[in-house]
Every structure is written in C-alpha cells, then in structure tokens.
C-alpha cells in the first residue's frame, strides 16, 4: 500500500522484516518442541536460539538465486549455526512457517482495527446523544419523507458499527489458527505435539485439519468482514456527502483554515475525506472478491493464492485502519447546521405530514385507497400551485365533511413523529 494511506502501527505489522522475525520465532519454537521430545540436544537448541539471525538484504540476495523466499530465509539462518543447522526447519514445509506467521500478523492487524472501531463507536454514541432531539428531514429516494432526528441517524450508525465490531472479533477468532503438520498435513515427519506446542506459545489454535496450507475460507471470511465494515463506513460517508450538498447543507466534514477546496474556485468546501473513504471501500470489496477466488486450489495446494495474498491482506487491513481513523476524525469535527435542517423541514409546505392526514381519514371511516387518492390529490395541488398543504386540504369538499380545520391543523405536529425516539435509544443502551 502507498504511504499516503498507511498509518505507522499497521505498517510495522506488515513490514517484511516483521514477517521473517515471526518465522524465526516459529523455527525456534519448533526446535524447543523437538528438544522436549529429545529429538534435539538442549545444547544445540541454546545455540540456535543464540545464533539464528537474519539479514533482510541477504535474504533478498539469496532469493534472486533460489527463487524461493523461505529457502533463502532458512539458508540465511543456517549461516552462523555450523552443524547445528541440520536441526533447523526439520520436518517443516514452507507453509508451516508462512501460514502460521501470517495468522499472527492478521491477528495483530485486526486487533488494531478492533481498537479503531471501538473508538469510532464511542464517538458515534456521544454524537447520537448530543443530536438526539435535533429534528431534520428524513429522505427516501433522495426525496423528503417524514421528520427524523439527526441523533437517530447516528444511532443507526452506532448500532451497525457494533455489529461490525462483532464481525471483526469473529474474524480474529477464525484466523487465529496455525499449522505445523508438514507437506500435505499428515504429520508424517513431525508429531502433532510440535504443532500444539508452537500454536500455544503463539496464542493460536492448531488447525483441526490442514492440507499443505490452512484452508483459505478463513482468510476469505476475514477479508469479507473487513469489506463489510468498509461498506458501512462508505454508507456513513455517503450520507455526509449528501448532507453537504449546497441544496441541503445540513452537515459537513471538517475544513481547516489552511485547507483549499479547489485549485480554481476559492469558495469550494468539498467532502474530500468522505469521498476518499467511499473510494477506498471499493478496494476492500475487490480484495474480498479475490480472497474468495483463493479458496479453490489444486489438490493439497498450489501457490496461485500466494501472490494475491501478499497484496490483498496487508492492503485491506491498512486501508480499513486508515478509513476508521479518518472517519472518526470527521465525526469528531463534524459541522452541523440545525438552522438549515429547520429550513428544509418546511420547504415542502407541510407535505411531510401527508401520512398523518391519510391515517386520520381512515380513522374517520374512509377506505385506504379512497383516502390515499384524496390526500395525494391535495398534495400534488400543493406542489403544483406552491401553496401550503393545509390550505389545499381545507378546500377539498370530502375532507371538509370529515375533518374540522382544528383537526387538520393538529395533524401538522412534529412532536407526534418524534415521540418514540427515546425508547429506541433505550433499546440501543444509549439511554437508561
């Protein structure tokens, strides 16, 4: 991933040196297990622990000749070990190292994502409560529907984010699996004890069964859950982008004093961070699709998945980390315009109360289809003539026979629509 979207903590996890460091740890743990089984002298184990080191540049140099990164790594470790090198990589296959090290990296990466999402959830909780009673226009199909509150909108994001948190925790559980079972997973050259010992030390579970690799449905599950989380962030960012449109202007992402919105138009304040989040979510989805393609491999394995994973797994965790960080900052510095929310509420001259009128006519005895026709006719007259909806209702003869002027006016009441907001917040645990 390019530096622009890479945050320091996540970058450290995916540095190649960190991968080889974890592979070295696995090699040493295997030797420890073999020593416990009396297959390696304790003296040799101590020497391996002390002297097994690697130089990244040297590994790269050797890989140019071998065309195999793990072989190059093992040869590099062996250089300072003399005859003790024969105990290194004993009974292992490359994937024992690669897949187990990758599991540790993926677990560490998702821990950072979980932490970032928990921070976002806290900000969403705070903002949802802050704006709980701030009335704004609810829209369906981009068209005015009925009143809602800005806090309820954020409460929905809070609830969705909590589900994403559970998904990330589930992804962590499913990926925290290692394998030290040899070339086709039969433990032919190493007993299961070695795998159990190594995995316990790394805080992983041994794979219940594996081929030469850990099954890639685990990795696909992980990336799909990252993509779902990214899609939620895209949804939230899209709504802010929509609310920042000039014609709506109800909320906007932060804009600093030194920031420039356009090279040509000095007046511009564009939702560029929200747009960036939406763009990066597309990459997460594309990467998740690639992870599904990686599930099916030939026989006990091929390496068509390997090149893909070197890109999609680090990139997806790096991008989601960046997106969570950016969106949390957007929410913390969000500019909200309640005066524009109120202005937009009255823009359609009371049409947003049409359902209340419809239901009241039904209570008075009209069939739904007949009541609907009457209300729709008055609503369209209001739109066409630019008149208050109340006035077009009052001049309809059938409505006059069923509803008094006072009854009609009582239906145009925001409090009615928002009277049950608190129970929703209580159900979410946001209010006691």
Phi and psi torsions of 137, nearest 5°: -85, 130
Please, which residues bridge with residue 135 across strands? Answer: 149
- Check if 94-254+263-344 and 351-411 are the same fold: no
Confidence band (pLDDT; 50, 70, 90) for 415? confident
Q: What is the mean pLDDT of residues 112-141?
A: 97
- For residue 268, what pLDDT band results from cuts at 50, 70 and 90? confident
pLDDT value of residue 188: 93
At residue 416 the predicted structure's pLDDT band, cuts being 50, 70 and 90, is confident
Q: pLDDT-derived band of residue 260, with 50, 70 and 90 as boundaries? A: confident
Helix axes 69-78, 56-66, angle to 10 degrees: 120
Q: What is the pLDDT of residue 257?
A: 79
Give me the mean pLDDT over the 285-308 stretch: 93
Distance of CA 274 to the CA centre of its chain: 14
CATH of domain 351-411: 1.10.40.30
Looking at 3.30.465.10, 1.10.240.10, 3.40.50.10860, 1.20.200.10, the CATH number of the domain 94-254+263-344 comes to: 1.20.200.10
Q: Which pLDDT score is estimated for 2?
A: 87
Q: Which fold does the domain 3-87 belong to in CATH?
A: Fumarase C; Chain B, domain 1 (1.10.275)
59-88: average pLDDT: 92
Mean pLDDT of 30-50: 95
| Mean of pLDDT values over 325-345 | 97
Q: Is the dihedral of CA 331, 336, 342, 347 positive or negative?
A: negative
- Residue 261 confidence (pLDDT) above 80: no
Q: What percent of the chain has pLDDT above 90?
A: 91
- What's the rounded mean pLDDT across residues 6-15? 97
pLDDT at 107: 98
Give the whole-angstrom CA distance, residue 1 versus residue 3.
6
Instruction: Output 348 or 416, whichever has higher pLDDT.
Output: 348
pLDDT at 331: 97
What per-residue confidence (pLDDT) applies to 221? 98
Mean pLDDT (the chain, rounded): 95
Whole-angstrom distance between the N-terminal and C-terminal Cα of the chain?
44
Kindly state the percentage of the chain with pLDDT values over 70: 100
Best CA proximity match to 329, nearest among 241, 254, 222, 430: 254
Q: Give dist(CA 13, CA 241) in Å, integer.
A: 33
pLDDT beyond 80 at 71: yes
pLDDT at 428: 95
- pLDDT score recorded for residue 300: 87
Q: What is the pLDDT of residues 144-189, one digit of tens each?
A: 999 999 999 999 999 999 999 999 999 999 999 999 999 999 999 9
Judge whether residue 429 has pLDDT over 90. Answer: yes
User: Is the per-residue pLDDT at 256 higher than 80?
Assistant: no
- CA separation for the pair 247, 233 (Å, rounded): 23
pLDDT band at 16 (very low <50, low <70, confident <90, very high): very high
How much is the average pLDDT of 332-360? 96
According to the model, what pLDDT value does residue 9 have?
A: 97
Query: Which active-site residues does the annotation give?
Result: 141, 262
* Pairing outcome for strands 135-140 and 143-149: antiparallel
The mean per-residue pLDDT over the stretch 278-288 comes to 98
Domain ranges, ordered by start, for the chain: 3-87, 94-254+263-344, 351-411
pLDDT of residue 426: 96
Please give the model's pTM, rounded to 2 decimal places. Answer: 0.94
Joined together, the tokens standing for residue 102 give: 């990758």
Residue 414: Cβ-neighbour burial (10 angstroms; 0-12, 13-18, 19+): middle
pLDDT for the residue 159: 98
Residue 25 has pLDDT above 80, yes or no: yes
Contact (Cβ atoms closer than 8 angstroms) between residue 398 and residue 407: no
Provide the pLDDT for residue 358. 96
- Measured CA to CA, the distance from residue 107 to residue 85 in angstroms comes to 30
Average the pLDDT over 122-147 and give the result: 96
Confidence (pLDDT) at 267: 84
Mean pLDDT, rounded, for 303-314: 94
pLDDT band at 22 (very low <50, low <70, confident <90, very high): very high
């Amino acid at each position: 991933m390019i530096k622009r979207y890479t945050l320091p903590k996540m970058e450290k996890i995916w540095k190649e040196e960190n991968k080889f460091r974890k592979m070295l740890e696995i090699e040493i743990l295997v030797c420890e297990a073999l020593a416990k089984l009396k297959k390696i002298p304790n003296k040799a184990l101590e020497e391996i622990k002390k002297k097994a080191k690697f130089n990244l540049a040297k590994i790269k140099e050797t890989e140019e000749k071998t065309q195999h990164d793990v072989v190059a790594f093992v040869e590099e470790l062996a250089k300072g070990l003399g005859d003790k090198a024969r105990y290194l990589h004993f009974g292992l296959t490359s994937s024992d190292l690669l897949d187990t090290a990758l599991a540790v990296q993926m677990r560490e990466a998702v821990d950072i994502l979980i932490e970032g999402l928990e921070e976002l959830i806290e900000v969403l909780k705070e903002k949802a409560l802050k704006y709980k009673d701030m009335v704004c226009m609810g829209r369906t199909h981009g068209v005015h529907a009925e009143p809602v509150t800005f806090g309820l909108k954020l409460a929905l994001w809070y609830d969705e984010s909590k589900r994403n948190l559970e998904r990330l925790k589930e992804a962590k559980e499913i990926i925290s699996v290692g394998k030290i079972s040899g070339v086709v997973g039969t433990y032919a050259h190493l007993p299961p004890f070695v795998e159990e010992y190594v995995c316990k030390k790394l805080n992983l579970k041994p794979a219940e069964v594996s081929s030469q690799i850990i099954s890639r449905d685990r990795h696909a599950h992980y990336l799909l859950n990252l993509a779902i989380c990214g899609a939620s962030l895209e949804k939230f960012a899209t709504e802010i982008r929509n609310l920042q449109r000039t014609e709506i202007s109800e909320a906007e992402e932060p804009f600093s004093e030194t920031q420039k919105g356009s090279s040509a138009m000095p007046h511009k304040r564009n939702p560029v961070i929200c747009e960036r989040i939406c763009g990066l979510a597309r990459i997460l989805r594309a990467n998740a699709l690639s992870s599904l393609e990686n599930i099916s491999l030939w026989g006990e394995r091929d390496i068509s998945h390997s090149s893909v994973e070197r890109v999609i797994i680090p990139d997806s965790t790096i991008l989601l980390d960046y997106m969570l960080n950016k969106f949390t900052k957007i929410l913390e510095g969000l500019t909200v315009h309640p005066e524009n929310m109120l202005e937009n509420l009255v823009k359609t001259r009371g049409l947003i109360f049409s359902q209340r009128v419809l239901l009241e006519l039904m209570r008075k005895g009209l069939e739904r289809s007949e009541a609907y026709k009457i209300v729709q006719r008055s609503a369209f007259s209001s739109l066409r003539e630019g008149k208050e909806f109340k006035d077009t209702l009052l001049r309809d003869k059938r409505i006059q026979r069923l509803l008094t002027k006072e009854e009609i006016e009582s239906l145009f009441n925001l409090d009615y629509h928002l009277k049950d907001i608190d129970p929703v917040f209580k159900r979410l645990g946001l209010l006691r």
